[in-house]
Amino acid sequence: MSWQPAAEPECLDGPDDVEMLIRPHEKDLGGFTVRRALPSAERRTVGPYVFFDHMGPASFSSGRGIDVRPHPHIGLATVTYLFAGEILHRDSLGSVQPIRPGAVNLMTSGRGIVHSERTPPEQRIAGAALHGIQLWLALPVALQETDPAFVHYPATTIPVVDAGEARVTVIMGTAYGVSSPVATHSPTLYVEVMFLKDGRLPLPGSHDERAVYVVEGRAAIGAIDLNAGDMAIVSPGAEPALQGDSGARIMIIGGEAFPEPRTVWWNFVSSDKARIEQAKQDWRAGRFDAVPGETEFIPLPE
C-alpha cells in the first residue's frame, strides 16, 4: 500500500522542534552491545514507554548466542521487534515462540509473568546474529494487575506503507493511513522508517509525546543532526519533518503520558511503591510461576 501526505504549505523546521537529545549508555555484555535510551538521566519516559533498548547488531561465534535466564515482570508490556537474528521466547504461561525479523512479540505482564529469551540451538550451529529493539510500556493503573498474556504477531500481519522515499512499518498504533493489529493498552505509537533514498517524511502529530531514535545511518529534524544511537525528544505540538539519508533506519515512538508517575525497579513497574516491594519478596521467595522446562533463574539484585 502507499501513503501520500495531503498538500499543505512547506513547514520550516527549527531548533524548537526538538526538546532534547539523548545519547544512550552503552553496555557490553560479552561481545553483545546494548544501548539503553530510556530511562536516562535526561528523560525517564516518552508517553507510556519506560524502557528502550537497542540490541546489537551482534554476530556470535559458533555455539554462542544470548541466554537471558528466567526473570519476572509486573505492571508492564514488553514489545520485541527484530531486524536480524532470532530469539526463542518461553514464559510461565507455557508460551514457546521464536521471534524473527519483522514479527512482533507482545507480552503483557500484569500481576506477574516470568520469561526467558535465548538464541535457539539451531541458530548457534553456524554462528548467530542479533539486531533489534526491545521496549517496555507501563500499563494504565486499571490494568497493572490484569492477567498476564502473550501474543505473537507474524511479520505478514504488520502493515507496511510506501511513503515515497521511505518504507514505513506501523508496528503499533495508527499512522500514515494504516492501523497495526498489535494490541495497545493506552494511546501508543511505534513506527519503523527505512529511507530507500534521501528524503523527508512528516512525523505523526497526534500524540502528546514523541521521540525519534536512529538505529542506522544519519537523519535530521530541521537543523538538528542525528546519528546512529541518537534519540531526539520532539517538542509537544511541533509538526516537523524527519529527514533521512538513504539507508537510514529510524524508530518513532510516542503516546499519551500517564498522570500517575511510575516507579521502575529492576524488571518491575508500578504506580505503587509498595507493590514493587511485594514483587521483590515474591521473587525472592519463589512465589512467581515458573517457566516450564527451565530450571535456571536470575536472582533478585541486592
Q: Which residues neighbour 300 within 8 Å (Cβ) at sequence distance 6 or greater? A: 266, 280, 283, 284
Model confidence band, residue 31 (pLDDT cutoffs 50, 70, 90): low
Mean pLDDT value across the chain: 93
**Per-residue model confidence (pLDDT) at position 30:** 61
Average confidence (pLDDT) over 79-84: 98
Q: Is 299 left (phi over 0), alpha (psi -120 to 50) or beta?
A: beta
pLDDT digits (tens, 9 = 90+) for 262-291: 999 999 999 999 999 999 999 999 999 999
Average confidence (pLDDT) over 8-36: 74
Average confidence (pLDDT) over 76-104: 98
Q: CA 118 to CA 120: how far, in whole Å? A: 6
Q: Provide the grid cell at 94.
A: 507455557
pLDDT digits (tens, 9 = 90+) for 4-19: 333 332 333 455 899 9
**Per-residue model confidence (pLDDT) at position 126:** 85
Query: What is the per-residue burial (b if ≥16 Cβ within 10 Å, else e) of 215-248?
Result: bbbbbbbbebebebbbbbbbbeebebbbbbeeeb
**Per-residue model confidence (pLDDT) at position 28:** 77
**Per-residue model confidence (pLDDT) at position 8:** 34
Ranges 9-13, 197-201, 248-252: which has the least confidence:
9-13
14 touches 222 (CB < 8 A): yes
pLDDT at 1 over 50: no
pLDDT above 70 covers what percent of the chain?
Answer: 94
Query: What is the per-residue burial (b if ≥16 Cβ within 10 Å, else e) of 131-167?
Result: bbbbbbbbbeeebbebebbbebbeeeebbbbebbbbe
Better-scored residue on pLDDT, 215 or 11: 215
Q: CA 167 to CA 154: how far, in whole Å? A: 18
pLDDT at 179 over 60: yes
Ranges 154-158, 227-231, 237-241: which has the least confidence:
237-241
pLDDT digits (tens, 9 = 90+) for 91-141: 999 999 999 999 999 999 999 999 999 999 999 998 899 999 999 999 999
Ranges 8-17, 81-90, 129-138, 205-214: which has the least confidence:
8-17
Q: CA 72 to CA 65: how far, in whole Å? A: 21
